[in-house]
Structure 1
Amino acid sequence: MDRHTFRLGVYGGSFNPIHIAHLRLVLEAQEALGLHRVDLVPSARPPHKSEKGILPFAVRRELVHLAVADLPGVFVNDIEESRPGPSYTIDTLAQYQRENPGKQIYYLMGTWDLLSLPTWHRGLELWTVANLVVIERGNKGRADVEAFLDTHRQQFALLEQKNDDCWSLSPDRTLHYVRMPRLDISATLVRERFLSGKSITFFVPEAVEHGLERMRGMISEIWNVPTRHEENDTCLSI
C-alpha cells in the first residue's frame, strides 16, 4: 500500500438510526488501513427496504452529523440525495471514483454485507470501482469471507492472497479483512428500546440520543410501523 496515496473510505447505510457499532466499524477500518478520510453516506432511497418505518432522509442525515461531529477524519456526504431512483451502491462508488481522481477508494462493509452481494444490484461488480474492506460483524468471520471468495473467484477476478487478511482482486484492486470486537448492537434493537421507553444510552452517541428524544413524537409514529428485521444493519444501500 502506497503510503503517499490518499485513501478515502466510504461507508453507507440507511442509518435508521446510526449507532455505536457503526462508528466502531469506521474506527477499526481507519486504524487498520490508515484511511485519511471516511465518508458516511446515508442512503436516500434504500432499494432493499420498504419506505415504511424508515425516518426521512433529512432526519437520518442530521443524526449522522451529530454522531460524527467529534470524530477526526470522519464526514457525512449526502451524495445520494440528489440522484434520482434507487440508491444503488455501485452508482455511488462510481461517482466517488469520477470525482476523486488519484485517490484510492475503499468501500467499507460488514461480513454479512459481503455474503449478500449476489442479491445486490451489480453487487459482484463493486470491486471494479473500489477496494473492498470487510469488517468482522456478528457470527460471520474470516473463514466465511474466504469461502465466499473461493465460490466467486471468477466474478471477483481473484488473483492471489497477499497475506492472511488481504486478497488481490485485480492488478489494482484489493479486498481487506478487518477484525472487530463483537458488538451486538443493531438499529432494530435501538428502535425497539426507544419505542418501549427503555434507555438507549451507550447504544447510540449522546448527541444522537438527544436528537431522537427531541423528535420523539414524529420518530415514534414512523418507527411504530412494522419493518423487516435487520439481522445486520450495518449494510450500505444496495
Structure 2
Amino acid sequence: MRLEQGEAEEGRRGTGILGGSFDPIHNAHLRLADCALKELGLSEICFLPAAHPYLHKHKDISPFEIRAEMTRLAIRGRRDFRLSLMEGEREGPSYTVDTLRILRERCPGESFTLIIGADQLYELENWHEPSLLFRLSEIAAARRDSGRRERNLSEQAEYLRGRYGARIHLLSMEETEISSSRIREMVRRGEDISGLVPESVLCYIREKGLWRS
C-alpha cells in the first residue's frame, strides 16, 4: 500500500522508510534508496524529512519547509519514491519509533523497512524505545568498514537479532563519505558541489542562497 494513495505492485513487498534531516538531501541518499528498493523488492521508498531531529547536533538546521522542498525536487519524476510531510505536522522531537507507530496505525497491513547508514546500526540501541522500533519495522543498513569498533557490521546485526529479534538486512551498497554537513561547509567556502546533489537541488540551493551567510 502506498502511504498516500494507490496499491503496491503485485509481487513487490513493503515500504522502505528513509528519514533524515536532508539538509540537503544528496546523491548518496538516493543511491541508498535505490539499493534498498532493488535488493529487498520494496514497492516504494518513502522519504521522511525530520521536523525536529532529536539527535541532530547542529543548531543551524534549515527550516522544515526548505528541507522538504529540496527532498521533493530530488525525487521528482520517480514513481517509486514518495515524500511524506507527516513529521512536519507534529510538535516536539522527531522520534523514529513514533513515526513508525503512526504509520502502523494508518496502514495496519503494511510492512515497513527502516533504511539507515552503517554507523546508525551501532546506535539503534540508544534510540527512543529500541525494542518497540524493532517490532514495528525491519532494518536495512548500508555497509561500511567497522574500523575500530568492537563488532564488525555483520556481528552487530547478529547481536541485535539475538537480543531484540531484530529483522536486519545488510545491503550491498557501501556507505560513502558524502554528508550533508560537509556539503553545507563546501557551500559556505564557495566550493563546487556539482555531482554531490541532484541538479534540481543544486539550482534550489543557489537560488535561495542557502548557507552563504
Any gaps of 5 or more consecutive residues in structure 1?
A: 158-168, 222-238
Instruction: Give the Cα–Cα distance (whole angstroms) in 1 for the partners of residues 101 and 154 of structure 2.
Output: 26
Corresponding residue of 1:82? 89
Pick closer, same or farther for the CA change 1:61–1:212 going to 2, 3 Å: same
- Alpha-carbon separation, structure 2, partners of 1:151 and 1:181: 21
Which moved further from structure 2: 43-52 or 200-209?
Answer: 43-52
Is 1:219 the counterpart of 2:207 in the alignment? no
Corresponding residue SS for 1:61: helix
CA contact 1:125–1:155 (8 Å) conserved in 2 = no
Q: Judging changes above 3 Å, is the alpha-carbon distance between structure 1 residues 152 and 37 closer, same or farther for their aligned structure 2 residues?
A: closer
Deviation string 1:34-53 (CA, Å, 9 cap, x unpaired) is: 11111000000011125621
Give me the whole-angstrom Cα distance separating, in 1, the residues matched to 2:161 and 2:13: 28
Following superposition, the deviation at residue 145 of structure 1 comes to 2.8
Q: 1:111 offset after TM fit, Å?
A: 1.2
Residue 197 of structure 1: SS of its match in structure 2?
A: coil
- Structure 2 residues without counterparts, runs of 5 or longer: 1-9
TM-score normalized by the length of structure 2: 0.86
Query: Corresponding residue for 1:188?
Result: 181
Deviations, residues 167-187 of structure 1 (Å, cap 9, x unaligned): xx4xxxx32111114532111
Give distance in 2, aligned partners of 1:185 and 1:150.
27
Which of residues 133, 137, 147 is equivalent to 1:130? 137
Offset from partner CA, 1:63-108 (integer Å, 9 cap, x none): 0000000223001101111112110000001111111122211111
Q: Secondary structure of 1:194's match?
A: helix
Question: Which 4+ runs in 1 deviate beyond 6 A?
Answer: none
Instruction: Measure how far apart 1:150 and its partner are.
Output: 4.2
Correspondent of 2:64 among 57, 62, 65: 57
Aligned equivalents of 2:117, 2:146: Cα separation in 1: 9
Over the aligned positions, Cα root-mean-square deviation in angstroms equals: 2.0
Q: With CA pairs under 8 Å and 6+ residues apart, which has the higher RCO, 1 or 2? A: 1
Aligned counterpart, 2:25 = 18
- Could you tell me how far apart the structure 2 residues matched to 1:220 and 1:129 are? 40
Q: How does 1:44-193 map to 2 (within 5 A)?
A: 44-50=51-57, 52-136=59-143, 138-140=144-146, 144-157=152-165, 169=166, 174-193=167-186
Cα distance in 1 for partners of 2:116, 2:60 equals: 23
Instruction: Give me the identity figure in percent.
Output: 30
Q: 1:118 to 1:181 in 2, by over 3 A?
A: closer
The letter of the residue matching 1:24 is R
Alpha-carbon distance in 1 for matches of 2:38, 2:23? 26
Contact 1:124 1:155 in 2 (8 A): no
Query: What amino acid does structure 1 have at the position aligned with 2:181?
Result: T
> Could you state the TM-score of these two structures normalised by the residue count of structure 1?
0.78
Shift of 1:122: 1.6
